[in-house]
């Protein structure tokens, strides 16, 4: 069923869990992630990222995700991940997305605030939840696509969200989720993760009613993820670890096959593995300790 991101966030705050926000750029991922949400009883957002336009265009992805979401017993918000430009995000509005990330983090604080404010003014009356980002999310994904360029990861603190800027941003925009940078990276974590949990606590104390988001959860030790939830993170984008999980298993199946391998069987195997990986993550985000 479709549930607004705002409603989910209230519940996440009350029960101290984090909403999983997962990209589903194909039907295998989509079905597996929805099944995992249904079986764990956890609310989720199903994402189409603007960077996935080359995998599946938003005009195809969103109607399909919406249809699956409506037929599911799980609480689902159909979400745009990292919408970088206004036209793309407005397309998402017309297609029926229930929440949208309008990512203007590459601009100055002032422009980020003004652009997000304008966007909220347009979409708030429609009941659409809005996520924004302040600070930058570094990438560990070798790609030339905007938003996925490989970042210098030698000192992650240069990307961190400034708590004072976060306070100004939250006050002036009234955004639903502010995604913050405090030591995670897009893609798989390289090396030992060391999240700045104290920074999350400080930002939380300055954010008022705005809920905090974290991207780049893959590869972060689960105990640190739960510390981040306790410190105030209520929405976590998690994708790479789920999306890369099937490959070694599929390779083994192919290598050990005596006969030509049927793609449908591989797809079913991949769906099973994505399901298991997602269940594992949703149980961590539930934060029952």
Which spans of this chain sit near Zn ion (rule: CB under 5 A)? 215
Least separation, in Å, of the C-beta of 21 and Zn ion? 9
Q: Closer CB to Zn ion, residue 48 or residue 270?
A: 48
> Residue 93 carries which DSSP code?
H
What's the min distance (Å) between Cβ of 271 and Zn ion?
Answer: 24
Give dist(CA 54, CA 83) in Å, integer: 14
3-state helix, strand, coil in the chain (%, to 5): 50, 15, 35
Query: Any bridge partners for residue 265, and if so which?
Result: none
Taking the complex as a whole, the smallest distance from the CB of residue 67 to Zn ion amounts, in Å, to 25
Q: Which is nearer to Zn ion, 186 or 204 (CB)?
A: 186
Nearer to Zn ion, 104 or 215 (CB): 215
Specify the residue, 54 or 259, whose C-beta has the smaller distance to Zn ion: 54
> By C-beta, is 199 or 215 nearer to Zn ion?
215
Closer of 35 and 138 to Zn ion (Cβ): 138
Smallest gap from Cβ 254 to Zn ion, in A, equals: 31
CB of 137 to Zn ion, least distance (A): 5
CA atoms lying within 13 Å on the CB side of residue 88:
20
Q: Which residue is nearest to Zn ion (CB)?
A: 215
Q: How far is the CB of 14 from Zn ion (least distance, A)?
A: 25
Using the minimum distance from each CB to Zn ion, give the nearer residue, 212 or 270.
212
159-164's contacts with Cβ under 8 Å and 24+ in sequence apart are 159/135, 160/135, 160/196, 160/199, 161/134, 161/135, 161/199, 161/203, 162/134, 162/135, 163/199, 163/202, 163/203, 163/206, 164/206
Minimal distance, residue 26 CB to Zn ion, in Å: 19
By three-state DSSP, how is residue 83 classified? strand
**Selection from 234, 197, 192, 241 nearest residue 216 by Cα:** 241
Find the radius of gyration of the CA atoms of the chain. Answer: 18
By beta-carbon proximity to Zn ion, the closer residue of 98 and 139 is: 139
Tokens of residue 263, six digits: 């793609």
Q: Which of 139, 141, 173 is nearest to 156 (CA)?
A: 139
H-helix or E-strand containing 99?
Answer: strand 99-102
Spell out the long-range contacts of 251-254 with Cβ–Cβ below 8 A and sequence spacing 24 or more: none
Smallest gap from Cβ 186 to Zn ion, in A, equals 5
Residue 221 DSSP class: -
């Amino acid at each position: 069923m479709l549930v607004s991101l705002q409603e989910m966030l209230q519940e996440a705050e009350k029960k101290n869990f984090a909403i999983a926000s997962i990209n589903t750029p194909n039907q295998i991922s989509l079905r597996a992630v929805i099944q995992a949400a249904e079986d764990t009883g956890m609310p989720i957002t199903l994402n189409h990222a603007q960077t996935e336009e080359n995998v599946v265009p938003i005009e195809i992805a969103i109607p399909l995700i919406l249809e699956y979401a409506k037929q599911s017993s799980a609480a689902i918000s159909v979400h745009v991940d990292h919408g970088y430009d206004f036209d793309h995000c407005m397309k998402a509005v017309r297609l029926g997305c229930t929440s949208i990330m309008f990512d203007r983090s590459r601009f100055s604080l002032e422009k980020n605030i003004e652009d997000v404010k304008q966007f909220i003014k347009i979409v708030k009356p429609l009941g659409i939840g809005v996520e924004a980002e302040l600070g930058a999310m570094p990438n560990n994904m070798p790609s030339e696509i905007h938003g996925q360029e490989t970042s210098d990861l030698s000192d992650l603190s240069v990307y961190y969200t400034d708590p004072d800027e976060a306070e100004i941003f939250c006050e002036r925009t009234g955004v639903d989720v502010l995604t913050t940078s405090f030591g995670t990276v897009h893609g798989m974590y390289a090396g030992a993760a060391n999240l700045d949990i104290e920074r999350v606590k400080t930002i939380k104390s300055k954010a008022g009613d705005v809920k905090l988001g974290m991207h780049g959860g893959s590869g972060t030790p689960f105990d640190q993820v739960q510390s981040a939830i306790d410190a105030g993170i209520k929405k976590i984008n998690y994708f790479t670890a789920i999306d890369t999980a099937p490959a070694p298993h599929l390779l083994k199946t192919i290598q050990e096959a005596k006969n030509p391998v049927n793609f449908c069987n591989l797809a079913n195997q991949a769906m099973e593995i994505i399901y298991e990986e997602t269940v594992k993550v949703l149980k961590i985000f539930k934060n029952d300790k």
